[in-house]
């Protein structure tokens, strides 16, 4: 196949891959998790059916809520769909808007989405939603320095903090892969991802354990299409974070280096396979550890912080 | 220090050695965090195993067959021997239960201890890193990590008020020195390396006697009781 795909179409495909692939990855994780527990589990396509069902339902709004309550899920999904423009989802070369924002830019968009959802939860005056948003903000304030230190590590490794540049650096030699700074930063990022996607050991993402809920509790008052957007949004966030981990830090291979149709199709399959692989690891962790008590979560994040700080030390002070 | 562009990667061998050293430093932080003595002993055994792995990596890359022998000896002594003796010493008095006086012997909270550990590690990195020592087998980062490990091990001995943690801190200090010796002077004659290794054995015996004596006198491994002796 030697059909060249125009750049804007590739850019659109990056967004569509994330948008359409996200429920699939969630479905695979749920399936793997069920198999690990000896259950048959839901269909892999179940998240799509869930979303379709929710989109058809009517939306109820709490009396006290203002227009922001309804705008928040839309803003959040818009923010999530902007991030694939900035990160290498399909191509190893930067697409035109790819240099518009660096890793911090992506981080800001993620934080914006999380902020509007938390604010909407506050609007409802429902205790559980408020509890969830207050907790989510508390813990993400602790996770933020870890992300910053991971960005510092990337900056020390590449001289810039563009995700495309780090992926290219890692592809350049085997020595770059086994650098302790890189591995420590990747491990720290993985721990942050476990935290951000609300997985064990931070949070149980299934069931309704209200007192242990953090992120999951924020959508309690949303319903219908708006709840569907929130659900889809958290699936998008998960796939975006998995893609950053896989395509920037751990395995930036099999990305399309040309505009050939074949290479692009291969890259679409590859990114979904890689994200599913990360998801399987997450599912195994989900099944092998217990949830931490709420006040021990800071220690988990502190562990990630230690990894990220040592990563910076090895590069900045240790010369490696 | 001016941040001037990205430093190029040192190569696969150096990278692997550095990663092993970094894992050893992380295990050191694990010991700082762990409340129970048996978990600390487990982490110590893992750390000792890492140093044997590092010896094998250096032996394979630098073609130093002596180091295989050293790796075997060190594994037998530090991965199997010392943890076994320590577990016997700590658990022997009270059966399978956790030795008394170890849990809760933190003088500062674990989080503060970890932060203090980070500061110590930074200082160690800075000091050892700026010495600029480059041996034939010495990846600069592993050398700096060894420095950080020495200081964190000291920190562990300082912030915990029980004999077990202090003994384990001392043994892991010996691990840090072995790491430094390995990366700087990998070609040292085997006899010297072995002598250093058995130096550690003497420390085990001494610390064993101390733990034993303290336990029989105070019925606890906590050193907080010792303050009473000041009169």
**What's the pLDDT tens digit per position in A19-38?**
999 999 999 999 999 999 99
Residue A272: the pLDDT is: 96
Which range is least confidently modeled, A263-267, B107-111, B159-163, B186-190? B186-190
Instruction: Indicate yes or no: CB of B1 within 8 angstroms of CB of A316.
Output: yes
Is some CB atom of chain A closer than 8 A to the CB atom of B22? Answer: yes
Residues of B in contact with A176 (CB under 8 A): 9
By residue range, what is the domain housing residue A224?
Answer: 7-316
**Which of residues B219 and A188 earns the better pLDDT score?**
A188
Q: Which of B44, B25, B53 is nearest to B144 (CA)?
A: B25
Which range is least confidently modeled, A219-223, A279-283, B1-5? B1-5
Confirm whether A2 is domain-assigned. no
Residue A153 has pLDDT above 60, yes or no: yes
Confirm whether A1 is domain-assigned. no
Instruction: Indicate yes or no: CB of A174 within 8 angstroms of CB of B12.
Output: yes
Q: What is the mean pLDDT of residues B184-189?
A: 74
Which residues in A301-310 are b (16+ Cβ under 10 Å) and which e? bbbbbbbbbb
Residue B80 has phi, psi (to 5 degrees) of -105, -55
Q: How far is A190 from chain B (nearest CA, A)?
A: 16
**Which of residues B33 and A278 earns the better pLDDT score?**
A278
pLDDT tens per residue across span B102-135: 776 778 888 788 889 999 999 999 888 888 776 6
**How far apart are the C-alpha atoms of A277 and A34, rounded to whole Å?**
16
Q: Which of B205, B180, B177 is nearest to B77 (CA)?
A: B205
Q: What is the mean pLDDT of residues A255-274?
A: 93
What angle do the packed helices B37-62 and B12-33 form, to 10 degrees?
170
Q: Which of A302, A142, A195 is nearest to B112 (CA)?
A: A302
Q: Which of A103, A85, A110 is nearest to A17 (CA)?
A: A85
How many domains is chain A partitioned into structurally?
1
Residues of B in contact with A175 (CB under 8 A): 9-12, 14-15
Spell out the residues 6+ positions from residue A244 whose beta carbon is closer than 8 angstroms to its own: A87, A103, A106, A163, A189
Report whether B151 contacts B124 (CB < 8 A).
yes
Token pair of A229 as six digits: 């957007």
Is some CB atom of chain A closer than 8 A to the CB atom of B21? Answer: yes
pLDDT tens per residue across span B36-74: 888 899 999 999 999 999 999 988 888 888 889 889 988
Spell out the residues 6+ positions from residue A306 whose beta carbon is closer than 8 angstroms to its own: B26, B29, B114, B118
Report whether B60 contacts B47 (CB < 8 A).
no
* Residue of chain B with shortest Cα separation from A296: B111
**How far apart are the C-alpha atoms of A286 and A131, rounded to whole Å?**
24
Residue A120 has pLDDT above 90, yes or no: yes
Q: How far is A136 from chain B (nearest CA, A)?
A: 21
Q: What is the mean pLDDT of residues B145-159?
A: 93
pLDDT interval class at B96 (50, 70, 90): low
Residue B2: the pLDDT is: 42
CB-neighbour burial class of residue A288 (10 A; exposed 0-12, middle 13-18, buried 19+): exposed
Confirm whether B125 is domain-assigned. yes
**Among B10, B14, B15, B112, the residue to mutate for chain A (most A Cβ within 10 A):** B15
Instruction: Indicate yes or no: CB of B7 within 8 angstroms of CB of A179.
Output: no
**Angle at CA of residue A186, ends A184 and A191, nearest 5°:** 95
Report whether A13 contacts A88 (CB < 8 A).
no
Residue A210 has pLDDT above 70, yes or no: no
**How far apart are the C-alpha atoms of A220 and A217, rounded to whole Å?**
6
**Mean of pLDDT over chain A:** 90
**Mean of pLDDT over chain B:** 83
Which residues in A130-150 are b (16+ Cβ under 10 Å) and which e? bbbbbbbeebbebbeebbbbb
Token pair of B43 as six digits: 């982490």
Residues of B in contact with A159 (CB under 8 A): 5-6
User: Per-residue DSSP letters for A150-210?
Assistant: HHHHHHHHHSS--HHHHHHHHHH-HHHHT-HHHHHHHHHHHHHHHHHTT-TTT---SS--G
CA dihedral (A157, A160, A166, A168) positive or negative = negative
Confirm whether A234 is domain-assigned. yes
**How far apart are the C-alpha atoms of B45 and A58, rounded to whole Å?**
60
Instruction: Indicate yes or no: CB of B10 within 8 angstroms of CB of A175.
Output: yes
What angle do the packed helices B190-218 and B163-184 form, to 10 degrees?
170
By residue range, what is the domain housing residue B203?
Answer: 13-217
Residue A33: the pLDDT is: 92
The secondary structure of residue B222, as a DSSP letter, is: B
Is some CB atom of chain A closer than 8 A to the CB atom of B148? Answer: yes
Q: What is the 3-state secondary structure (H, E, C) of B118-172?
A: HHHHHHHHHHHHHHCCCCCCCCHHHHHHHHHHHHHHHHHHHHECEHHHHHHHHHH
Residue B4 has pLDDT above 70, yes or no: no
Confirm whether B226 is domain-assigned. no
Instruction: State the CB neighbour count (10 A cutoff) for residue B131.
Output: 11
**Among A142, A153, A169, A180, the residue to mutate for chain B (most B Cβ within 10 A):** A180
How many domains is chain B partitioned into structurally?
1
Highest mean pLDDT, choosing among A267-281, B8-22, B106-120, B155-169? A267-281
**Which of residues B226 and A19 earns the better pLDDT score?**
A19
Please name the residue that has the structure tokens 């101390």: B210
Residue B146 has pLDDT above 80, yes or no: yes
What angle do the packed helices A7-36 and A46-56 form, to 10 degrees?
110
Confirm whether B225 is domain-assigned. no
Q: How far is A151 from chain B (nearest CA, A)?
A: 14
* Residue of chain B with shortest Cα separation from A174: B12
Residue B79 has pLDDT above 90, yes or no: yes
Q: What is the mean pLDDT of residues B171-183?
A: 88
Among B9, B129, B142, the residue with its CB nearest the CB of A175 is B9
Instruction: State the CB neighbour count (10 A cutoff) for residue B200.
Output: 21
Q: How far is B86 from chain A (nearest CA, A)?
A: 27
Percent pLDDT > 90 in chain B is 28
Q: What is the mean pLDDT of residues A107-131?
A: 91
Is some CB atom of chain A closer than 8 A to the CB atom of B187? Answer: no
């Amino acid at each position: 196949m030697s059909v060249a795909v125009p750049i804007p179409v590739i850019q659109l495909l990056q967004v569509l891959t994330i948008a359409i692939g996200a429920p699939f990855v969630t479905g695979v994780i749920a399936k793997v998790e069920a198999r690990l527990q000896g259950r048959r589990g839901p269909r892999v396509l179940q998240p799509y059916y869930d979303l379709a069902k929710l989109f058809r339902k009517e939306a109820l709004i709490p009396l006290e809520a203002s227009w922001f309550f309804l705008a928040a899920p839309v803003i959040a999904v818009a923010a999530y769909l902007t991030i694939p423009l900035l990160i290498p989802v399909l191509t190893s070369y930067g697409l035109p808007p790819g240099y518009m924002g660096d890793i911090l830019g992506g981080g800001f968009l993620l934080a914006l989405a999380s902020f509007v959802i938390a604010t909407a939860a506050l609007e409802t005056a429902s205790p559980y939603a408020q509890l969830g948003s207050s907790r989510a903000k508390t813990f993400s304030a602790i996770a933020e320095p870890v992300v910053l230190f991971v960005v510092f590590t990337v900056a020390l490794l590449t001289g810039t903090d563009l995700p495309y540049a780090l992926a290219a650096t890692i592809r350049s030699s085997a020595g770059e892969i086994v650098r302790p700074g890189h591995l420590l930063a990747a491990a720290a990022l993985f721990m942050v991802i476990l935290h951000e996607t609300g997985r064990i050991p931070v949070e149980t993402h299934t069931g309704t354990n209200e007192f242990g809920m953090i992120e999951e509790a924020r959508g309690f008052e949303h319903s219908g299409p708006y709840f569907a957007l929130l659900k889809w949004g958290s699936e998008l966030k998960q796939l975006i974070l998995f893609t950053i981990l896989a395509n920037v830090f751990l395995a930036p291979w099999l990305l399309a280096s040309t505009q050939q149709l074949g290479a692009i199709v291969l890259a679409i399959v590859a990114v979904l396979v890689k994200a599913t692989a990360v998801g399987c690891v997450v599912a195994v962790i989900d099944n092998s550890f217990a949830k931490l008590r709420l006040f021990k979560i800071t220690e988990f994040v502190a562990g990630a912080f230690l990894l990220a700080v040592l990563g910076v030390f090895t590069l900045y002070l240790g010369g490696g | 220090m001016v941040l001037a562009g990205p430093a190029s990667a040192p190569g696969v061998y150096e990278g692997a050695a550095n990663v092993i050293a970094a894992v050893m430093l992380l295990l050191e932080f694990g010991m700082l965090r762990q409340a129970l003595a048996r978990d600390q002993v487990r982490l110590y055994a893992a750390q000792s195993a890492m140093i044997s792995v590092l010896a094998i990596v250096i032996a394979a890359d630098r073609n130093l067959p002596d180091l295989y022998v050293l790796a075997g000896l060190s594994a037998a002594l530090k991965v199997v021997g010392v943890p076994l003796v320590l577990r016997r010493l700590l658990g022997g008095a009270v059966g399978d239960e956790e030795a008394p006086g170890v849990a809760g012997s933190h003088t500062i909270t674990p989080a503060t201890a970890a932060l203090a550990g980070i500061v110590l590690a930074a200082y160690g990195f800075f000091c050892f890193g700026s010495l600029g020592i480059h041996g034939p087998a010495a990846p600069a980062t592993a050398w700096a990590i060894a420095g950080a490990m020495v200081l964190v091990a000291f920190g562990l001995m300082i912030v915990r008020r029980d004999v077990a943690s202090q003994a384990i801190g001392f043994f892991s200090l010996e691990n840090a020195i072995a790491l430094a010796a390995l990366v700087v002077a990998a070609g040292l004659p085997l006899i010297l390396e072995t002598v250093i290794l058995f130096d550690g054995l003497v420390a085990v015996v001494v610390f064993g006697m101390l733990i034993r004596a303290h336990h029989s006198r105070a019925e606890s491994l906590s050193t907080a009781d010792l303050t009473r002796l000041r009169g």
